Structure 1
Amino acid sequence: MDSEHWKEHVVELVYWRDLQRTGICFGASLFLLLSLSACSIVSVLAYISLALLSVTISFRIYKGIVQAVQKSEDGHPFKMYLEQDIAISSDVVHKYSELALGRFNTAVKELRRLFLVEDLVDSLKFAVLMWILTYIGALFNGLTLIIIAHVAVFTWPVVYEKHQVQIDHYYGLVNNQVKDVIAKIKAKIPGAKPKSE
């Protein structure tokens, strides 16, 4: 599956184009995250594996009994899945590792730029963001933030699609106010250079 096809599937999921598929994906992943908040990852993986094994073993025994009663030669009920090739090709691994390495290098360069104060205003903005994150970290743990982000990914696109005009209007107002404040701060900071456009 190429990346464009994969992106289309993700968009269909988060915009709830197929209610059944999105509902199953959202519900299962939210259940997994909530389970991880209550139990350790080892317990959650063990319980999920036991539940899956219970279903597959029960189905295998049921099909075996049905085949014995009907004296049919249908074979293994999961034969189609057992014969599928699920190996990941080295080309796919190479492609995504190159992509991940490129993003990692970009992030390291950006962090170096921020921590070594190449641009004073950008470093100050980063410091304010880190200061805000200390308060967020005091209120929520990492898993809670992941759960909130997960719910937002499945709700925000639909809300934005339905109320795009109003959201864009208020976003524009806030964005203009922030730009004005940043411009005033830049004007008062000695040594802050305007970015070349």
Structure 2
Amino acid sequence: MQTRRAEPPQGIAPCGECLLLIDLVHWRDPKKSGVVFGVSLLLLLSLAAFSVISVVSYLLLALLCVTISFRIYKSVIQAVQKSNEGHPFKALMEKDVTVPPETFRKHVDVCLSHVNRVLKQMSHLFLVEDLVDSLKLAVVMWLLTYVGAVFNGITILILADILLFSVPPIYEKNKTQIDRYIDIARTQFNTTVAKLQEKLPGSMKRCKAE
């Protein structure tokens, strides 16, 4: 049975890169998803065992070995067959690999909007515009100190890569049950937050209301 593409929220026009990522993590094309997952996981495991310089150097060296070997192989074949096919990578070399200024400016504008949104949110949280939101962030940061004591950054990236390619298909197959438990958890969380807000001193509650 063919799986249905996850629909984006109404009013949001997803970009092509977002749709490609959605297709990859939902395993629409198992071959492509398997290749991307395998390569990304192998790269992260390599970074966990070796330095970034070593991993990049080995990758570029392997790529050069493949291209040089293929170039020599094609040259030998052309010499034996006395053909005149030309450079084996001619079609690739003729492609335009430059980034158009319009595309560059477009991505810069998108990145700038995200940066401004993050800065505004950080100002909201760290300047305690909303006490409850700032307390939530403090709790999350406190929990992350324990996570950092157990896992390093590259281990977290490896776990995130595994979850990225395993959670979406699992959620898609069990969406009804998972949504029900999420609603229960959200209700319990909102109830707890409401109780905490009722216990705040009067000045803090007025700050929250403002």
Q: TM-score range by the shorter chain?
A: over 0.9
Instruction: State the partner residue of 1:192.
Output: 205
Sequence identity (%): 47
Structure 2's unaligned 5+ residue stretches are: 1-13
Aligned to 1:106: 117
Q: Give the Cα separation in 2 of the matches to 1:120 and 1:192.
A: 9
SS of the counterpart of 1:192?
helix
3-state SS in 1 of match to 2:205: coil
CA contact (8 A) 1:30 1:150 kept: yes
Letter of the 2:63 counterpart = L
Kindly state the Cα deviation for residue 195 of structure 1 after the two structures are TM-superposed.
5.7
TM-score, normalised relative to structure 2: 0.88
Code of the aligned partner of 1:26: F
> Aligned residue for 1:163?
174
Q: Partners of 1:96 and 1:54 in 2: how far apart?
A: 34
Give deviations 1:110-148, integer Å, cap 9, x for gaps.
Answer: 111211111111111111111011111111111111111
| Contact 1:36 1:44 survives alignment (8 Å) | yes
Counterpart of 2:149, as a letter, is A
Does 1:152 pair with 2:182?
no
Alignment of 1:73-92 (within 5 A): 73-92=84-103
Root mean square deviation of aligned Cα: 1.4
Number of equivalences:
194
Structure 1 gap ranges (5+): none
Mapped pair 1:59 → 2:70: yes
Matched, 1:173 2:184: yes
Structure 1 residue 23 displacement after superposition: 0.9
Equivalent residue for 1:49?
A: 60
Q: One-letter code of the match for 2:30?
A: L
